[in-house]
């Protein structure tokens, strides 16, 4: 007969006896009465941890769920951390939220706790994109910031991103130190929930104006935009914070013909028109694509609920819309930006871009060819932000991004920014159209110049406690018995970012990796293929990133070359036995 483990039962008893609202207690008791032990175990077997994107999980009662109590404890932990980190200072924190169910409540809860701790809290008057929160932190001189969002996760999820004074999400050791403060709270009664209203300052449209005004200064090809002001653009915010911010940015850049997908224009945390509000998924862009076909659009774009990721579709040589993956869009952005900077004589060797280790190394090649340094970081945009902060005042940041559809242009924000990315993507579309070309033709020209790169992400979802254990077992197995050959290619280097070493298989030598420790493995083959294995920090998944490349002599050979590379990817994945 299945029963609950004693430590889980103890956590449940604490919630049933503690100072929690009656509705929460009734829900827990109903689960007990119905012997829903699996659900109770998942809800109570641990506390929510900070990953690459902060605190994120399914909403509901329990220590491993997102609710006003876990939000409150996280916020009190943050408050205790800030008090110790900035002794004697008048601490300021900015707060924003997305369109998700209960996001306004959770933002209000966080604002209340922070105000009760004596902090000045700057709280947006309504939902805002994540990048604007990052901008506001630096603009207001805040010590920290909180964004209530679960990004592109399904509607059952919500989350809580914590930012530092640099406008980027907190990195080690601060993230661990915040959690340590949270875990030091013995009782929910130690959380200061009683808001002090005079400590809460409302932020309104004045911050929107400052943010958009700074964003517009990043435009490079104003003349080309003037020539192509009627560029046909379709945009969908997928029921999130991209509306009206992205259309407003596009208008300010000079684009007059932006068609918003009406059925997805209104913010709605139920995301009624999509299965997942994720611009990485073709299904999420189906309405935008239909609109694009209807008006013969030059560009189709969609942003996720907190408007920090953007997915795009362009027309191929046959006039059919094709979705670009995150690596392709990122490469095109960097290709455009560096060429534009070079054209305007702005590159002098003191510029740089930043990407993550699982993002296409095509970006490294493009940067190297332009005498622009490319820095690689661990997965998670917080590491890109930290790199930018470390180099502030020394070098000029042009742009950067990660394969998961997150990009940044310019340094007014220290997180991925779909608002500025959408505007610059539209600008580069206009630029190439003004040259008599298209984004598709530019993509192929880039491949001819630097090599044809193809990437694929394979994810396996492993839910619950047992799922987390399976993911760890899989990583342990790869470490104990790493592959020696994949798809007929010899594995020549194994990079273990948890160990902090790169092992060269042929010579038996090793070298240190200059990265923080992270549970990531990379296998590099003699044919230039790279396979990365990484448990997700924000979802119950293990992810495998596969990258292959080959020379492309002429654009007419693209389809054949691409298909051969995709076959290579399939064989590499098959040989991993995952």
Active site residues: 151
Cβ within 8 Å of residue 30, ≥6 positions away = none
> Which residue, chain included where needed, has tokens 């994949």?
486
State how far the Cα of 525 lies from the Cα of 537, in Å rounded to an integer.
Answer: 26
Interatomic CA distance for residues 238 and 532, integer angstroms: 30
Q: Taking Cα atoms as reference points, which of 356, 353, 358 lies closest to residue 369?
A: 353
Helix (H, G, I), strand (E, B) or coil at 258: strand
CA distances from 534 to 180, 278, 280, 385, 542 (A): 24, 20, 18, 20, 6
**Of 161, 130, 167, the residue nearest 50 (C-alpha):** 161
CA distance 290 to 321: 10
Distance CA 321, CA 179 (A): 45
Count of other CB atoms within 10 angstroms of residue 429: 27
CB atoms inside a 10 Å sphere around CB 33? 8
Q: Which residues of 258-276 are buried (b: 16+ CB within 10 A; e: fewer)?
A: bbbbeebbebbbebebbeb
**Distance of alpha carbon 110 from alpha carbon 128, whole angstroms:** 16
Q: 162 CB contacts (<8 Å, ≥6 apart)?
A: 50, 54, 55, 74, 78, 144, 145, 146, 169, 170, 175, 178
Task: Tell me the Cα Rg of the chain.
Answer: 24
3-state helix, strand, coil in the chain (%, to 5): 40, 20, 35
């Amino acid at each position: 007969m299945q029963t609950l483990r004693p430590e889980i039962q103890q956590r449940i008893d604490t919630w049933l006896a503690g100072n929690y609202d009656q509705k929460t207690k009734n829900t827990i008791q109903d689960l007990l009465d119905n012997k829903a032990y699996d659900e109770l175990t998942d809800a109570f077997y641990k506390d929510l941890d900070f990953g690459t994107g902060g605190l994120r999980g399914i909403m509901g009662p329990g220590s491993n769920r997102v609710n006003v109590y876990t939000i409150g404890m996280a916020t009190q932990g943050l408050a205790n951390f800030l008090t110790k980190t900035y002794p004697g200072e008048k601490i300021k924190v900015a707060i924003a939220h997305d369109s998700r169910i209960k996001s306004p409540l959770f933002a209000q809860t966080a604002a209340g706790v922070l105000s009760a701790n004596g902090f000045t809290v700057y709280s947006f008057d309504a939902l805002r994109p994540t990048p604007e929160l990052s901008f506001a932190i630096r603009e207001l001189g805040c010590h920290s910031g909180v964004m209530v969002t679960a990004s592109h996760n399904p509607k059952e999820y919500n989350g809580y991103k914590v930012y530092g004074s640099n406008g980027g999400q907190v990195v080690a050791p601060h993230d661990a130190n915040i959690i340590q403060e949270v875990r030091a709270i013995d009782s929910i009664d130690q959380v200061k929930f009683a808001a002090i209203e005079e400590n809460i300052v409302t932020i309104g449209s004045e911050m929107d104006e400052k943010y958009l005004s700074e964003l517009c200064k990043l435009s490079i090809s104003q003349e080309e935009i003037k020539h192509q002001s009627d560029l046909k653009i379709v945009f969908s915010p997928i029921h999130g914070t991209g509306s009206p911010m992205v259309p407003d940015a596009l208008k300010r850049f000079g684009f007059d013909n932006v068609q918003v997908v009406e059925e997805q224009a209104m913010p709605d945390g139920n995301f009624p028109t999509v299965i997942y509000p994720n611009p990485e998924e073709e299904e999420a862009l189906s309405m935008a694509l239909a609109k694009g076909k209807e008006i013969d659009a030059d560009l189709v774009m969609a942003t996720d609920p907190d408007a920090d990721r953007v997915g795009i579709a362009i027309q191929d040589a046959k006039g059919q819309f094709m979705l670009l993956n995150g690596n392709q869009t990122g490469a095109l952005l960097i290709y455009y930006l560096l060429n534009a900077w070079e054209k305007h004589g702005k590159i002098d060797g003191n510029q740089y871009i930043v990407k993550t280790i699982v993002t296409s190394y095509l970006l490294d090649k493009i940067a190297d060819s332009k005498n622009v340094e490319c820095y690689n970081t661990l997965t998670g945009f917080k590491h890109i932000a930290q790199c930018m902060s470390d180099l502030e005042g020394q070098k000029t940041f042009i742009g950067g991004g990660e394969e998961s559809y997150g990009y940044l242009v310019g340094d007014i924000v220290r997180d991925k920014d779909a608002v500025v990315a959408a505007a610059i993507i539209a600008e580069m579309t206009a630029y190439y159209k003004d040259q008599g070309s298209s984004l598709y033709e530019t993509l192929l020209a880039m491949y001819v110049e630097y090599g044809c790169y193809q990437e694929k992400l394979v994810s396996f979802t492993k839910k619950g406690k047992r799922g987390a254990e399976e993911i760890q077992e899989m990583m342990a197995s790869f470490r104990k018995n790493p592959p020696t050959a994949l798809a007929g290619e010899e594995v020549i280097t194994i990079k273990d970012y948890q160990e902090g070493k790169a092992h060269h298989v042929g010579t038996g030598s090793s070298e240190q990796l200059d990265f923080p420790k992270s549970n990531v493995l990379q296998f590099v083959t003699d044919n230039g293929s790279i396979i990365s294995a990484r448990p997700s920090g924000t979802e119950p998944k293990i992810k495998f990133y596969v990258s292959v490349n080959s020379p492309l002599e002429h654009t007419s050979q693209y389809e054949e070359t691409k298909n051969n590379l995709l076959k290579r990817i399939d064989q590499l994945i098959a040989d991993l036995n995952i």
